[in-house]
Structure 1
Amino acid sequence: MNDTPGWSSPGSAPSDGQEPGASGPADAAGRPGPAQPTDQPGEQPQTPGVKWSKEQPPPGQWSAPTGTPAPGRTPSPPPPAPGWGQAGYGAPGGYGGYGGPGGHGAWGAGWGGLPPAAKPGVIPLRPLGLGEILDGAVTTMRTHWRTVLGISLVVAVLVQTIVTLVQHFAFDDATNQVLNDPNATFREVSRAMGNLLLGSGVAFIVQIVGIIVATGLLATVTSRATLGKPVTIGEAWRDARPQLLKLFGLVFLLLLISVGIVAVGVLPGIIVAATGSPLGGVALAFLGGVAAFVPAVWLWIRFCLAPPALMLEKQSITKAMSRSGKLVRGSWWRLFGIQLLTVLITFMLSVVVALPFAMIALVSSGDGMADFINGTPELSWTYLVITGIGSVIGLAITFPILANVTVLLYIDQRIRREGLDLELARAAGVPSHGSGATTPGS
């Protein structure tokens, strides 16, 4: 047990004297003699030092002897009832004296925990839980809705315009005719399916690019929101503009890595299909794509904090990726779970928003519901424009949530590893923050 003042084990002896009844007086050689009986009538023990009672109080309830206090001394107060709700660990000056006089560190409120962390903005300045991260993302969007929705709406319009053009050329009339022709050859069907998969893949990549760009542009807004400070679109643009070229370079590099990994997995199947075995090639390409998807996701989560590191720390592309790897190390599964849950939530939200527009588009284009029931909806410009409007609204809502969650995860990891909450508290003007320390590296 540590000898530091304030540390003692419950029920330990109040002095270092002899244990009662352990031995008698020592002999000439210094060896303890036999125990002297003390229960004979009419005899009182004459041993010097501390006199011990036969019946000791139970552990954890030691108290000063009762009776008349010595001259000049104040009688000790009676011990409180045993429990955990006192200022300290059961009693004043108890196990380590937490919060009590002479305690180790004087933690304040006792075993009930540290005082609440300061919350100058959308999050408390301490390590965050899942609910606090999601709440902080939504609160940022609600508090600074003009700036957040303004930025996300611009990104959503650009993304959806590209997606609409890709859909128009990928899902053309020739593709629909081949897919609905029972006499079409396997090669024609494979080519049509390839066009559909290519169009869907390009649309997916464009949306990923939109998420990364929105994360970079909204990083300033979210970081200011943690301090309770407003930021306008102009301020956010001026802060992000010097890093925009690096941000697009980061986007390109991340996509190149991910697409390259998936391409390596799919390439053997494509080669087999081109050499005369289409069915086996398609099966091999599918299995290779699934196998390559795992390392692609692992790398994506490893570098998911690179955009906020690039924008907020003004890092280079490679240093931002290295920074993200260091922050994610040891917390990969936690970040993966939070990101996956956020994607599922935003996906359901976007479906709810876009579904009414899709129904209106089906009714307004071609034979409407008849084509939908037959499995051949007509992708006319009317259909694409109406569904595109619904998608823009959905993206304008979901982009900020995804971006804010990523930025808050970056801030949370720095709080856990580097004590960023102390720096944020100083920036927010909270001088008393940090008395209950956040241990870097936890």
Structure 2
Amino acid sequence: MTDEQSWQSPSEQGQPGRAVPGQPPYGQAPPGQPPYGQAPYGQAPYGQAPYGQAPYGQAPYGQAPYGQAPGWTPPPKPGLIPLRPLGFGTLLGAPFQVLRRNPKATFGSALLVQALSVLVSLLVLGPVTFIAIDRMERASAAESDAVAAGAVTAIILAALIPVLLTVLASAVLQGVIVLEVARATLGEKLTLFALWKTALRRIWPLLGWVLLLAAGYVVIIAAAVGIVVLLAVQGAPLLGLTIAVGVLLGLGVVVLLAWLTVKTSLTPCLIMLERLGVGTAVARSWSLTRGYFWKTLGVQFLVGFIVNLASQIVTTPVSLLYGFAATVIDPNNVLGTIGPAAASYLLLMLVTLIITSIAVVAQSAAVALIYIDLRMRKEGLDLELLRFVEARELGEQGVADPYLVPHAAQTAA
């Protein structure tokens, strides 16, 4: 090696690409060490946390930082509603989600009941009314009073059959909707047959409650009417008092019936879900609604108002459209008045059946949601529902129904 080859100037030693004996080329790491700026294999770079660990000063994912309490996480929503006390908006919107979530079991059941009621009325009340009117027209003057009284009696008795059938079917329908809301809250979706099979097991308590409620309404209204009639028969001197008492009693009856309806509105839910008798269910409904009267009234009133408003919006254009179409199709009235009247009646009946079915489902679902909300607030039902959902996800068998209260669960077991 010559002196020219062995000696290099300091400037030449620092030039890139010129290696110094015993040292790696410029920009390369010594043998066995990682390149500059990279960490050895298995170690994190400087200032970074190893893979799978949180950076320094930060808590791992899902855990609160050191010295801080974990944040609140809302309960899961396995089905129709979140498993926590419900807000006013949820109570208004969820009843209509019941229709969308399981339309065959809810809307289908309501439409079936409403159509059955109309069909029975037409098949039973229609022929009896036609025969009674025909006999009244053919009766002689001497027999007219007796025939008229008999005809009216026959019509009233015939009307009781579809009324009783409608009451029975409506009671079962309300139980079906209550069951659907209760199971939908847990993320379950039952078929129409399964819901009706379960509801029919509690048909007699439901029917007893409906008849008891109807009898209470009749007694209250009859008492008010009787007082007004007693004052009216006293003659002209008490005319002013009769009118004043009639107005006050009318307002009082409306307020009393609204109050009783709200306080006992949870009775069907208690009969179906807690399997209570009529008397116990009424007393428990009275207790659950204590302190929440106005909220219960407000939700039920607003749901009914929304449904009735939608009904008016739908039926009014249908009536106007029919009148316009009848004028265009039959401008000279060749078909007469019977054909258009029958078509108008059938069209309005179809629209009414659909709207009524939606209204029944929404109002029954609203009552069931109020029941669940009040039990969450007063009895911690949300915790029982969460335990049931977790146990079901883990595959546990024999888990008790979360809607049963302790004494009812022991009786059912």
Range of TM-score over shorter length: 0.5 to 0.7
Q: How does 1:34-433 map to 2 (within 5 A)?
A: 106=69, 108-109=70-71, 114-160=72-118, 213-274=172-233, 284-359=245-320, 383-429=344-390
Secondary structure, aligned partner of 2:202: helix
Relative to structure 1, the CA distance from residue 414 to residue 165 in structure 2 (aligned partners, 3 Å threshold; closer, same or farther) is farther
Matches of 1:323 and 1:332, distance apart in 2: 14
CA drift of 1:167 comes to 11
Residue by residue over 1:229-258, the C-alpha shift from the partner in whole angstroms, topping out at 9 and shown as x without a partner, is 110011101110111121111011112112
Residue by residue over 1:16-42, the C-alpha shift from the partner in whole angstroms, topping out at 9 and shown as x without a partner, is xxxxxxxxxxxxxxxxxxxxxxxxxxx
Secondary structure, aligned partner of 2:296: helix
Relative to structure 1, the CA distance from residue 352 to residue 159 in structure 2 (aligned partners, 3 Å threshold; closer, same or farther) is farther
Residue by residue over 1:184-237, the C-alpha shift from the partner in whole angstroms, topping out at 9 and shown as x without a partner, is xxxxxxxxxxxxxx9xxx999999987655322211111111011110011101
Residue by residue over 1:269-297, the C-alpha shift from the partner in whole angstroms, topping out at 9 and shown as x without a partner, is 23344565697656644442222111111
CA drift of 1:136 comes to 2.0
Please tell me the residue identity of whatever aligns with 1:153: L
Gaps of 5+ in 1: 1-86, 88-98, 173-197, 367-377, 433-442
Contact 2:92 2:299 in 1 (8 A): no
Please tell me the residue identity of whatever aligns with 2:226: L
Give the match for residue 184 of structure 1.
none
Relative to structure 1, the CA distance from residue 237 to residue 206 in structure 2 (aligned partners, 3 Å threshold; closer, same or farther) is closer
Matches of 2:258 and 2:167, distance apart in 1: 13
CA drift of 1:159 comes to 4.6
Secondary structure, aligned partner of 1:152: helix
Greater RCO (Cα-Cα under 8 Å, separation 6 or more):
2
Relative to structure 1, the CA distance from residue 131 to residue 387 in structure 2 (aligned partners, 3 Å threshold; closer, same or farther) is same
Matches of 1:279 and 1:361, distance apart in 2: 46
Please tell me the residue identity of whatever aligns with 1:120: P
CA drift of 1:301 comes to 0.2
Q: How does 1:4-15 map to 2 (within 5 A)?
A: none
TM-score between the two structures when normalised by the length of structure 1: 0.57
CA drift of 1:430 comes to 6.9
* Worse-matched range after superposition: 270-279 or 233-242: 270-279
Matches of 1:279 and 1:365, distance apart in 2: 49
Please tell me the residue identity of whatever aligns with 1:299: L
Residue by residue over 1:379-425, the C-alpha shift from the partner in whole angstroms, topping out at 9 and shown as x without a partner, is 96555433222110101222111111110111111111111111111
Matches of 1:308 and 1:264, distance apart in 2: 30
Contact 1:125 1:421 in 2 (8 A): yes
Matches of 2:297 and 2:347, distance apart in 1: 34
CA drift of 1:101 comes to 5.2
Contact 2:267 2:281 in 1 (8 A): yes
Aligned length: 293
Matches of 1:322 and 1:249, distance apart in 2: 15
Relative to structure 1, the CA distance from residue 430 to residue 311 in structure 2 (aligned partners, 3 Å threshold; closer, same or farther) is same
Contact 2:266 2:371 in 1 (8 A): yes
TM-score between the two structures when normalised by the length of structure 2: 0.60
Residue by residue over 1:288-312, the C-alpha shift from the partner in whole angstroms, topping out at 9 and shown as x without a partner, is 2222111111111000011111111
Gaps of 5+ in 2: 1-57, 59-63, 131-155, 328-338, 394-413
- Structure with greater proportional helix content: 2
Contact 1:211 1:403 in 2 (8 A): no
Relative to structure 1, the CA distance from residue 250 to residue 167 in structure 2 (aligned partners, 3 Å threshold; closer, same or farther) is same
Give me the CA root mean square deviation: 4.3
CA drift of 1:265 comes to 1.9
Matches of 1:385 and 1:275, distance apart in 2: 48
Give the match for residue 14 of structure 2.
none
